[in-house]
Amino acid sequence: MNIDKENQFFEFKELCHKSDLKITPQRVVIYEILSSTDEHPSAETVYKKARRIMPNISFDTVNRTLNTFSDIGAAFIVEGTGDVRRFDAGLGNHQHFKCVKCKRIIDFHYEEFDNVHRPAELEKFDILKSTVYFEGICDVCKKK
Amino acid sequence: MNIDKENQFFEFKELCHKSDLKITPQRVVIYEILSSTDEHPSAETVYKKARRIMPNISFDTVNRTLNTFSDIGAAFIVEGTGDVRRFDAGLGNHQHFKCVKCKRIIDFHYEEFDNVHRPAELEKFDILKSTVYFEGICDVCKKK
DNA sequence: GTACTATATAGTAGTTAATACTATTTAGCA
DNA sequence: TGCTAAATAGTATTAACTACTATATAGTAC
Ligand SMILES: [Mn+2]
Ligand SMILES: [Mn+2]
Ligand SMILES: [Zn+2]
Ligand SMILES: [Zn+2]
């Protein structure tokens, strides 16, 4: 393990300790798999890789552990929140804020976000859509 | 129906005609429901509202129709892509580009996106996260 | 208006992702 | 080296979404 990875693994253990989570072999394997790829794998993909190392690991453990990592900030969900699909017929330029408590999605509009700069790194792709999106606690939920 | 809504409805019908979609009562009801709310409803929510107007409408029709609207550009999905959840242990600042064909999620980093401006409209919320995200066709898929 | 036909729908079944349950095991600690 | 709360394996269940099929209908041609 190189210095970077060792350090990342140390931070992972710190995060577990802070949240009173035990450092189990399953969690270690799952974290190793997730932190050594840039392909943003699904739970199923992580499960398949984990079984090569730990043949009896269950899908439930992998899925639950990934959610746990997400809860403690050791990882995050980049696609598909697990929530249901939600639709919008408002085609005018606007952006969204989502409350993580009540799941309300609130429209707002800030012109600069309608056409954000397209970084040079992305030039080799055909960009169809850009999105600026905020998440947090809404005014109503703050009062509770 | 006011001028704005009438115009929006006209544009909706145009979009249907362009894609050779029939203007059915079900589609009209679903579009009316979706276009007259800013609450970004789920298929289930639209279905419940639609049943008040059209008691025999099926969930399948509502769900399929919402997907159709999304396909023809009369609406779009603002939450939950239908794809499975995918995870990322990369905690360093970075952004994502997703290829809509092969579903690859590709990391990139453009410093200005690490701290985007927080519009005044959002001051009443506690913002926990901001995201800048691009979608399109990746270099590999372009070649096909 | 009437008849035709490809498209759309209702009702239901099936699939897949994700979560819940429970008996057993184990990490962390005294 | 036990003890105990937490975690896991194996399985069941739930929930979101999609697929299927017989029937109905929107759009069109006459
Ligand atoms: Mn919106
Ligand atoms: Mn990433
Ligand atoms: Zn809220
Ligand atoms: Zn691609």
Is the pTM for the entire model greater than 0.75? yes
The pLDDT of residue A127 is above 70: yes
* Confidence at residue B25, expressed as pLDDT on a 0 to 100 scale: 96
Of A75, A98, A136, the CB nearest to B126: A136
* Confidence at residue B1, expressed as pLDDT on a 0 to 100 scale: 62
Chain B positions in Cβ-Cβ contact with residue A76 (cut-off 8 Å)? 87-88, 91
The token duo for B126 is: 């506690």
Domain B3-72 and domain B95-142 have a common topology: no
Distance CA A14, CA A10 (A): 6
- Residue B88 contacts residue A36 (beta carbons within 8 Å): no
Neighbours of ion ligand 1 (CB under 5 A): A 88, 90, 107
Question: What fold, for A3-72?
Answer: Arc Repressor Mutant, subunit A (1.10.10)
Contacts 24+ apart (CB under 8 A), A2-8: A5/A35, A5/A36, A8/A35
The pLDDT of residue A1 is above 70: no
Q: What confidence tens digit (pLDDT) does each residue in B98-139 have?
A: 999 899 999 999 999 999 999 999 999 999 999 999 999 999
Residue of B nearest to A46 (CA): B87
> Taking the mean position of all CA atoms in its chain, how far away is CA A47?
17
Q: What confidence tens digit (pLDDT) does each residue in A10-22 have?
A: 999 999 999 999 9
Protein-contacted positions of strand C (CB under 7 Å): 7-13, 16-21, 26-28
- Name residue, tokens 């270690």: A28
Q: What confidence tens digit (pLDDT) does each residue in B3-58 have?
A: 787 888 999 999 999 999 999 999 999 999 999 999 999 999 999 999 999 999 99
The token duo for B124 is: 């009443």
For chain B, domain boundaries: 3-72, 95-142
* Confidence at residue A81, expressed as pLDDT on a 0 to 100 scale: 73
Q: Which nucleotide is nearest to A22 (CA to C1')?
A: C27
Q: What number does CATH give the domain A95-142?
A: 3.30.1490
* Confidence at residue A54, expressed as pLDDT on a 0 to 100 scale: 96
pLDDT classification of B79: cutoffs 50, 70, 90: confident
Contact assignment for B96 to A117 by CB distance below 8 Å: no
Chain B positions in Cβ-Cβ contact with residue A108 (cut-off 8 Å)? 119, 121-122
Distance from CA of B132 to the nearest CA of A (A): 5
Contacts of A4 (CB under 8 A, 6+ apart): none
Calculate how far, in angstroms, residue A67's C-alpha sits from the geometric centre of ligand 4. 27
Of B79, B105, B139, the CB nearest to A124: B139
Nearest Cα to B34, choosing from A91, A104, A134?
A91
Sheet (strand B105-108) strand order: A105-108, A95-99, A126-137, B126-137, B95-99, B105-108
